[in-house]
Amino acid sequence: MTRSYWWLAVGSPVALLAVWEALSRTGVLDPRFFPPPSVILRLLVAMVDSGELLFHIGVSVRRVLLGFVLGAVPAVILGLSMGLARPVRALLMPVVSAIYPIPKIAIYPLVIFYLGIGEASKVSIVALSIFFLVLLNTMAGVLGLDRRYFQIARAYGAGPRELFTTVALPGAMPAIFTGLKLGMGFALIVIVGAELLGSDAGIGFLIWRSYQIFAIDQMYVGLLVTAVLGWLATISLDGLERVAMPWRS
Amino acid sequence: MIAVAPTVGQIDVRSLSKVYSGRRAPFLALDAVSFSVRAGEFCALIGPSGCGKTTLLHILAGLIEPTAGTVAIPRRAPGRLLTAIIFQGVSTLPWMTVIQNVTLGLRHVVAPPPEGSDPAVRAKGSDPSFWAGGRARRERAMDALGRVGLEAFADAFPHQLSEGMRQRVSIARALATDPDVLLMDEPFANLDEQNRLLLQDELLRIWQDTRKTVLFVTHSLDEALRLADRVLVMTAAPGRIKSEVDVPLRRPREFTSVRQDPAYGALSARLWGDLRDEVMKARQVDRDSGRRTQDDS
């Protein structure tokens, strides 16, 4: 985006909200179904003040973060191994390709069956949903590397362990971050979904409960929070990417 | 496969062959190649594209195994690498700073104790952990960077440097390991003419200081004659040594004086005479099989 168009980028959401506000206030849109943004915002502030909102956010964020680490770390290690070693790839690729396309939320009942309705199942479903994305991206990252990098490292004495740390991991880093960013989106989808299905806390639960008591404005607060969380996650991953890859500037 | 030779600084290659298992038929890249390089000699290797020059160098660097034959290279002294290779084109790891790139080869190298140091330091020097320590490695790497004039860029990343500077980093990395043999695979091929001449000067200066045994692959007749004591000419695939041409031009070889030397013209003509048939043969093979040349495979 060039500099001269920033006002368009800021202006379009503001204009959308203004139109919504006007339509809702004048009754063109039924304010019971489409509460005006100002009402939603006031409710949001009230829910923050009461601590209710922060509690639910805390629960969801904790689940996502735990699940993220639990899914991404083994995915990176396994993805690097699959990229480096053909036998490992031959061994695991069929299984991975078979499980990868299954919508992870469809596995959720099974996960509940094994792990119960508590935190373990929520964290696991997040881990599962990002695991394959990070795994496949990491592997593709290693496979796409110039063979010359491996030759340089080997010619100067690197063994298999060092190829892992000096070539494969830093070389695949851009692809790993692509996987993490895609995974973050899926993690939010899956955690909210999982909380809708069976939970007593979290943003998904908040949205679901609001629906049951017909509190449409509260549902909008839940959606707004989800959107902001997604945006914050993207920003933090971008920041992390810059720190992790100082050679790309 | 790489044996230890009795004399230091000598490469002895005997009946070296390499067969690649191609998609349709096995491909003979090297066919019983034999030659020797004397200690401290600068030896150039020229040949048509796809003649197995790179394969040969990669075998000497220990990157691939030969199918048959032997390579004997000097005894591995502690603190030195047996061979250090300088690649063509992409030669640095982009995620490492210049100094990290140069220290890459030093992780497994245990430096000998410095001469004239007191016994306590010498005793320490025989302990790998002392010399494998970061500071000692950094000092050695900085020393090598100094030789190529890049101390000021130690903490830069490769993408911030020019192609010529990156190639100098790669030379510094090889020098830092203080190798018995320096293997160079068309290191200046991707540079423009002027930078190539400057880097040739620099290489000659370094070589005159260190007197490393150098095996330098190139497809430039000029480069071979300017740098080398002796030029080995390879045949089209399957690669063999076709002829050896001594280069008795006086050193130091200033660009202008070398070009004006009548002997230079005669040598150049002789080399091209040997090479021309092979280049034509290589082209014929390419046309017949319709495949691309595979110098890098």
What span, in angstroms and rounded, lies between the C-alpha atoms of B69 and B28?
Answer: 14
Query: CB contact, 8 Å: B61 with chain A?
Result: yes
User: Which of B50 and A225 is assigned the larger pLDDT?
Assistant: A225
User: Which of B121 and B208 is assigned the larger pLDDT?
Assistant: B208
Q: Which residues contact B87 (CB under 8 A, 6 or more apart)?
A: A148, A151, A152, A155, B170, B185, B187
pTM of the model: 0.82
Please indicate whether, in this complex, the C-beta atoms of B81 and A157 are within 8 angstroms of each other: yes
What span, in angstroms and rounded, lies between the C-alpha atoms of A85 and A77?
Answer: 12
Give how far the C-alpha of residue A100 lies from the chain's centroid of Cα atoms, to the nearest Å.
Answer: 16
A146 interaction partners in chain B (CB closer than 8 Å) = 90
Query: CB contact, 8 Å: A7 with chain B?
Result: no
Q: Bridge partners of B71? A: B2, B13
Condensed to tens digits (0 to 9), the pLDDT of residues A110-122 reads 998 999 888 899 9
Compute the half-sphere exposure of residue A23: CA atoms within 13 Å on the CB side of its CA: 12
Residue A218's SS3 state is helix
User: How far is A44 from chain B, CA to nearest CA, in Å?
Assistant: 45
| Tokens found for residue B39 | 């200690």
Classify residue B227 as exposed, middle or buried by CB count within 10 Å of its CB (0-12, 13-18, 19+).
buried
Query: CB contact, 8 Å: B155 with chain A?
Result: no
User: How far is B242 from chain A, CA to nearest CA, in Å?
Assistant: 28
A149 interaction partners in chain B (CB closer than 8 Å) = 90, 93
User: How far is A149 from chain B, CA to nearest CA, in Å?
Assistant: 6
Residue A131: predicted pLDDT: 95
Band of residue B293 on the pLDDT scale cut at 50, 70, 90? very low
User: Which of B106 and B8 is assigned the larger pLDDT?
Assistant: B106
In contact, B156 and B25? CB cutoff 8 Å = no
- Any idea how long chain A is? 249
Residue B76: predicted pLDDT: 60
Highest mean pLDDT among A103-107, A126-130, B31-35: A126-130
Residue A183: predicted pLDDT: 92
Helix axes A52-84, A86-99, angle to 10 degrees: 140
DSSP secondary structure string for all residues of B184-212: EESTTTTS-HHHHHHHHHHHHHHHHHH--
Please indicate whether, in this complex, the C-beta atoms of A149 and B108 are within 8 angstroms of each other: no
B108 interaction partners in chain A (CB closer than 8 Å) = 157
Q: Please, what is the average pLDDT of chain A?
A: 90
What span, in angstroms and rounded, lies between the C-alpha atoms of B219 and B234?
Answer: 10
Residue B216: predicted pLDDT: 94
Q: Degrees (nearest 5) of the Cα angle A143, A146, A148?
A: 130
Residue A176: predicted pLDDT: 95
Query: CB contact, 8 Å: B92 with chain A?
Result: yes
Residue A196: predicted pLDDT: 87
Residue B61's SS3 state is coil
A155: closest CA among B23, B73, B82? B82
Q: Bridge partners of B84? A: B182
Query: CB contact, 8 Å: A156 with chain B?
Result: yes
Residue B52: predicted pLDDT: 86
Residue B57 reports pLDDT greater than 60? yes
In contact, B137 and A156? CB cutoff 8 Å = no
A236: closest CA among A31, A51, A22, A61? A61
Condensed to tens digits (0 to 9), the pLDDT of residues A156-212 reads 888 888 899 999 999 999 999 999 999 998 898 899 888 888 788 999 999 999 999
Which residue type sits at B178?
Answer: D
- First CA to last CA across chain A, in angstroms? 18
Give how far the C-alpha of residue A23 lies from the chain's centroid of Cα atoms, to the nearest Å.
Answer: 33
User: How far is A152 from chain B, CA to nearest CA, in Å?
Assistant: 7
B150: closest CA among B123, B171, B168? B168
Compute the half-sphere exposure of residue A28: CA atoms within 13 Å on the CB side of its CA: 6
Where do runs of H (alpha helix) occur along chain B? Answer: 53-60, 98-103, 119-125, 128-131, 134-147, 163-176, 193-210, 221-227, 255-260, 262-289
B92 interaction partners in chain A (CB closer than 8 Å) = 152
In contact, B164 and B191? CB cutoff 8 Å = yes
Q: Report the residue of chain A nearest B107, measured CA to CA.
A: A157
Please indicate whether, in this complex, the C-beta atoms of B95 and A152 are within 8 angstroms of each other: no
Residue B297 reports pLDDT greater than 50? no
Percentage, residues of chain A above pLDDT 70 = 98
What is the average pLDDT across A68-80?
Answer: 95
Please indicate whether, in this complex, the C-beta atoms of A170 and B177 are within 8 angstroms of each other: no
Residue B133: predicted pLDDT: 64
Residue A96: predicted pLDDT: 93
What is the average pLDDT across B75-90?
Answer: 77
Interface test with A, best of B104, B109, B153 (most A CBs within 10 A): B104
A47, containing H or E segment: helix A37-49
Interface test with B, best of A142, A148, A156, A164 (most B CBs within 10 A): A156
How much of chain B is helix, strand and coil, in % rounded to 5? 40, 20, 40
Q: Bridge partners of B18? A: B30
Percentage, residues of chain B above pLDDT 70 = 83
Number of other CB atoms surrounding residue B115 within 10 Å: 6
What span, in angstroms and rounded, lies between the C-alpha atoms of B211 and B84?
Answer: 14
A156 vs B58, B104, B158: nearest CB: B104
What span, in angstroms and rounded, lies between the C-alpha atoms of B175 and A36?
Answer: 71
Query: CB contact, 8 Å: A166 with chain B?
Result: yes
User: Which of A86 and B6 is assigned the larger pLDDT?
Assistant: A86
Residue A236: predicted pLDDT: 92
Residue B116: predicted pLDDT: 47
User: Which of B292 and B216 is assigned the larger pLDDT?
Assistant: B216
Band of residue B156 on the pLDDT scale cut at 50, 70, 90? very high
Helices (H) and strands (E) in chain B, counts: 10, 10
Condensed to tens digits (0 to 9), the pLDDT of residues B140-152 reads 889 889 888 889 9
Strands B42-46 and B230-234: parallel
Condensed to tens digits (0 to 9), the pLDDT of residues B257-269 reads 888 888 888 888 8
A154 vs B63, B90, B158: nearest CB: B63
Query: CB contact, 8 Å: B166 with chain A?
Result: no
Q: Bridge partners of B131? A: none
Band of residue B192 on the pLDDT scale cut at 50, 70, 90? confident
Q: Is the previous residue joined to B252 through a cis bond, with omega within 30 degrees of 0? A: yes
Query: CB contact, 8 Å: B240 with chain A?
Result: no
In contact, A180 and A237? CB cutoff 8 Å = yes
What span, in angstroms and rounded, lies between the C-alpha atoms of A102 and A197?
Answer: 18
Give how far the C-alpha of residue B83 lies from the chain's centroid of Cα atoms, to the nearest Å.
Answer: 9
Query: CB contact, 8 Å: A152 with chain B?
Result: yes
Band of residue B85 on the pLDDT scale cut at 50, 70, 90? very high
Please indicate whether, in this complex, the C-beta atoms of B93 and A156 are within 8 angstroms of each other: no
Residue B295 reports pLDDT greater than 90? no
A247 vs B84, B91, B95: nearest CB: B95
User: Which of A233 and B236 is assigned the larger pLDDT?
Assistant: A233
